Structure 1
């Protein structure tokens, strides 16, 4: 790209080309969409900012303008997505010095977050209320996700052949591309390919449910297009009827992980079961649970020490 641009060219044009050259075809579509969103904000906030004008002050002003409408973490993400292109422009000699050095990340105060998971008693109430018939439907889907912690697209892609009833395991090797017309697709990452251990009750239920279904066809995908809103709407109706927090299907995944952590399952085991690329992802996602468990551990340590004579 060094010969394609001059220091007098606009940042937005350089960033657009940089995304096309370095990101398209190299990252997942959902991640690419985030870069394109960042580009849209650069076009909106700094439509005429030239590369040669991108000083530390100008870059900080761009971040500050973005931060006026976004929370701090979102501003941090915007900074990281833009920084890669800017550092390449520095290497190309289009910008004399790194303008991203020592930036200050600002942002709006986070809105009060709704609880995204159920506690054990609420989950029991939800599962007891499901109407589990003889055919695979969304109620069976809700039960499966609640007991396995699978992602929505992973659960959609399951076929009867993925169940190992003898060893009580479920193989997760693919996803269902429900956003782009259907069809099997790769998992989110290599760590997402895994075997999930199932409880004996769920094994018996699904052995009966799928025995007459085609072995290599998705269990839950209907003939029409699949929308996660369909399952979320059904789940919401159950939650409201039971007067428990309204969660999404992804909230069932959070519920599954939270219950395991509260039960004393190690972070490493939970990370493997969820298909996280690293334990760091699990720790960040479930920090609230981990902190609460640490507080309980402190109380336990203090009580144990107090009993020593």
Structure 2
């Protein structure tokens, strides 16, 4: 009987039955993390003892060391399993009903990006010869704002050099042991990214003799740290602050915003599911640009005398 099971045992059983091989490995790993947290926080909590009170206490304990959004994710995983338990009549009432999501105050995450002169200094250090290298990978991310896995998943046939666009419709699952193509992060991530003429020339030469349907940059097991360490060395050589590959994505978006490109266009180019994500990520830049706009407004109004 499920009522005689501990909650973490039921969740482990439910996770393996419904989520294993049904979701991406990276997603399944998040369920496994939830299970480990559940074992740590409530090792003796029985299914029969689950109530709104005991469940809320579990959430509160988790929220003491996690931000609200992370607590919300934890809650969603647990709730999914308990709704199934309710339908199977292992529970008589929904203990997650009206649950209050708390969390420690969100830390201020300042997005790390390069200024235009710093990016130019980095690009000047790239060795762009006739062979595929991480230098070309760094160039591609800097020029397109692709996510790490998206850039790894790029194949020669994804380039439309005639129309100067790059189609993003898959990623490379570098985190799992199987390795291979995987879906994009969300539907909005499937997109066509316009390319400048210089990038078109560089990649048309680089990919002309490569297999059309195989990843340009994948040759064996890929580790994010490998590329980040290589990028770190380039940054130090260029005499600029060190950033990660993901920081190049932020750099790309930041420079577009400073250039006056609309938030909507930047969101589409990055493959964000909505503009709210873009606004939240680049809030400090948007506020800075708004201050500049206010100065322009005041100068314009002052001239109407």
What is the TM-score when the length of structure 1 is the normalising length? 0.86
Partner of 1:101: 98
- CA distance, structure 1, for counterparts of residue 261 and residue 110 of structure 2: 25
Question: Displacement of 1:230 after TM fit?
Answer: 1.4
What secondary structure does 1:178 align onto? coil
Q: Residues 56 and 99 of structure 2 are in contact (CA less than 8 Å); yes or no, is this contact kept in structure 1?
A: no
Asked whether 1:211 is paired with 2:192, we answer no
> Which region of structure 1 is more displaced relative to structure 2, 135-144 or 293-302?
293-302
Partner of 1:144: 140
Partner of 2:40: 44
Q: Residues 72 and 101 of structure 2 are in contact (CA less than 8 Å); yes or no, is this contact kept in structure 1?
A: no
Question: Displacement of 1:80 after TM fit?
Answer: 2.9
Partner of 2:286: 290
Within 5 A, what are the aligned runs for 1:30-179? 30-90=26-86, 94-99=91-96, 101-107=98-104, 110=107, 113=109, 115-179=111-175
Asked whether 1:302 is paired with 2:298, we answer yes
Question: Displacement of 1:169 after TM fit?
Answer: 1.2
Asked whether 1:197 is paired with 2:190, we answer no
Taking a change above 3 Å as real, the CA distance of residues 102 and 193 of structure 1, as seen in their structure-2 partners, is: closer
Gaps of 5+ in 2: none
Q: Residues 71 and 101 of structure 2 are in contact (CA less than 8 Å); yes or no, is this contact kept in structure 1?
A: no
Question: Displacement of 1:149 after TM fit?
Answer: 1.1
Q: Residues 115 and 245 of structure 1 are in contact (CA less than 8 Å); yes or no, is this contact kept in structure 2?
A: no
- CA distance, structure 1, for counterparts of residue 40 and residue 249 of structure 2: 36
What secondary structure does 2:2 align onto? coil
Asked whether 1:242 is paired with 2:238, we answer yes
Question: Displacement of 1:33 after TM fit?
Answer: 1.5
What is the TM-score when the length of structure 2 is the normalising length? 0.87
Count of aligned residue pairs for this structure pair: 303
